[in-house]
Amino acid sequence: MAILEEPIKEPLHLKNYIDGEWVESEGERKDVVNPATGKVIATVPISTEDEINEAVEAAKEAFPEWRRTPPLARARCLFRLKQLLEEHFEEVSRIQTMEHGKTIDESRGETRRGIEMVEVATGIPSLMMGYNLEDIATGIDEYVIRQPLGVFGIIGPFNFPFMVPLWFAPFAVATGNTIVLKPSSEDPISQVKIAELAEEAGIPPGVWNIVHGGRTVVSGMLDHPDIEGICFVGSTPVGRDVIYRRCGETGKRVIAMCGAKNFALVMPDADLDRTIAACMTSFFGNAGQRCLANANLVIVGEGLSEQEHEEFYQEVVERFVASASRIRMGYGLDDTVHMGPLRDKKKRDRVVGYIEKGLEEGATLLLDGRQFELVNDIPDTCFVGPTVFENVTLDMTIAREEIFGPVASVMKARSLKEAIEMIHQIPYGNAASIFTNSGKWAREFQYNVQCGNIGINVGIAAPMAFFPFGGMKDSFFGVLHGQGREAIRFFTESKVVIQRWF
Ligand code: NAD
């Protein structure tokens, strides 16, 4: 059980990156603590309003020159960034494990997904093309061009500190915009590393800025007249009531990707070995701190008698609990570990509070994550083990609210129709999975379920970088989604030119 070498040996003193310079903030400083070891690994500034204004000013000044830079030249910077990220792949992955707690394999997966965003954005000369038509009337031609808008603000969540800001930043910059990025102050280190590599890749000063902090920075971005649009990923109350509302008031474009409560349906014909394996990573991967994690498991008795449904239910639940209880917990830098801690003690206490709430409301606890063993000699302050409840009903808090921890609620539905209705009783609509061998059931599910991301025999329905990513209902606020072609549209304005020559 060797623990891999930690890339951060001494606490880092993080700075803002504004106009190509690493600058000290006047704001207070906050500790960034490795949740597995309890050690401080960095201090991060909570920047002031003046500092966010300086960054926006720098981004605004850099915009005209960057916009004039040919798309191919912009893409070459991103090719270099991609190359540098590959060279630092293991280092940035280990940093994520240290700042967030996830296992090294989960971090490597996150790094790969982040790099893919940069790869797709290098296709910008083709992706950004407009279209035209000759002779819309005799001798008159018309065409559409796509143009960048200016400065975009990017606000990241804590759960994917490396990847999520890359859902936006490479596309924004490739299209000729400039950015001011605020990483989550809980785990901001990997974004600092990316900005260092962006600088090395030749992205000019002022194009890619980082301002650390919290609400002051966010409200500074929302209110700033020179920010054209905001990309936010985080919880629904902040996304809907702060970000989306204020962007409406100030006339900014917005992508607000928010909270989730996702369902997985197991149909009687599902391949159970594969289903249980997929469920383990979906429910418990990243310690349940994924917007695409499944949280409610519905065992569906479509076509079965009540007795057969009960037997099928018992079989699935037994296998689910048995697999969950084999999950190895410890420090994510030990590569035999399957699950790391939650991001911090407050999050651990919050998840434990939900377990207590589930018991109070009458659910039955089959596997209690408050009791666990760690495979490494580390403090147990931020850990919660895999937790499984049954006899959960949809009026219970644990079935309705986003717990964002490794807690599964198991339910039954007599039919697929009833299971889909259950999904629709929850205000969120981020993702849903079905496990079945029936194309008919899968199609019915895909056709009817109001969620932005559908998994068919897939537990984590995460779109690749060249497909759009967004939810429905309370999981998404905005029109265009992140990633792929929708991101290109979000970060550009279309202009129509109609021309005739005499
Ligand atoms: P959060 O809402 O607490 O914070 C997100 C960002 O907003 C952070 O940068 C934070 O500093 C800032 N912020 C927090 N409170 C604020 C306030 N009152 N005013 C202004 N800014 C504020 O979310 P989190 O805990 O960092 O992330 C977890 C959440 O993100 C979960 O709800 C999860 O489902 C969601 N998430 C969604 C997706 C998706 O694709 N839909 C992806 C990842 C995470």
For the stretch 113-122, pLDDT in tens is 999 999 999 9
**Per-residue model confidence as pLDDT tens digits over 262-315:** 999 999 999 999 999 999 999 999 999 999 999 999 999 999 999 999 999 999
Query: Among the residues of 159-261, which ranges form H helices?
Result: 163-166, 169-174, 189-200, 215-223, 236, 245-250
Q: Which residue from 167, 218, 428, 475 has its CB within 8 A of the most atoms of ligand 1, so it is best to mutate?
A: 218
Give nearest CA residue, ligand 1 atom 21.
Answer: 215
Instruction: For residues 159-183, give the mean pLDDT.
Output: 98
Cα 238 to middle of ligand 1, angstroms: 7
Atom of ligand 1 nearest to the CA of 237: 2
Instruction: For residues 124-129, give the mean pLDDT.
Output: 97
pLDDT at 1 over 70: no
Instruction: For residues 55-79, give the mean pLDDT.
Output: 98
Give nearest CA residue, ligand 1 atom 20.
Answer: 215
Are the beta carbons of 212 and 32 closer than 8 angstroms? no
**Cβ atoms within 10 Å of 54's Cβ, excluding its own:** 19
Active site residues: 291
Instruction: For residues 164-185, give the mean pLDDT.
Output: 98
Q: To which residue do tokens 């509070």 refer?
A: 353
Of 502, 498, 501, whose CA–CA distance to 136 is shortest? 498
pLDDT of 2: 85
Atom of ligand 1 nearest to the CA of 476: 41
Are the beta carbons of 145 and 130 closer than 8 angstroms? yes
**Cβ < 6 A, ligand 1 pocket:** 155-160, 164, 182, 184-185, 214-215, 218, 233-235, 238, 242, 257-260, 291, 402, 404, 430, 471, 475
d(CA 452, CA 460): 12
Instruction: For residues 65-82, give the mean pLDDT.
Output: 98
Percent of the chain with pLDDT over 70: 100
Local confidence band at 378 (pLDDT 50, 70, 90 cut-offs): very high
Cα 233 to middle of ligand 1, angstroms: 6
pLDDT at 199 over 80: yes
Report residue 153: phi and psi, to 5°. Answer: -100, 135
pLDDT of 337: 98
Cα 226 to middle of ligand 1, angstroms: 23
Which domains does the chain show, CATH number per domain?
Answer: 18-258+475-500 (3.40.605.10), 262-456 (3.40.309.10)
pLDDT at 23 over 90: yes
Cα 410 to middle of ligand 1, angstroms: 27
Instruction: For residues 85-97, give the mean pLDDT.
Output: 98
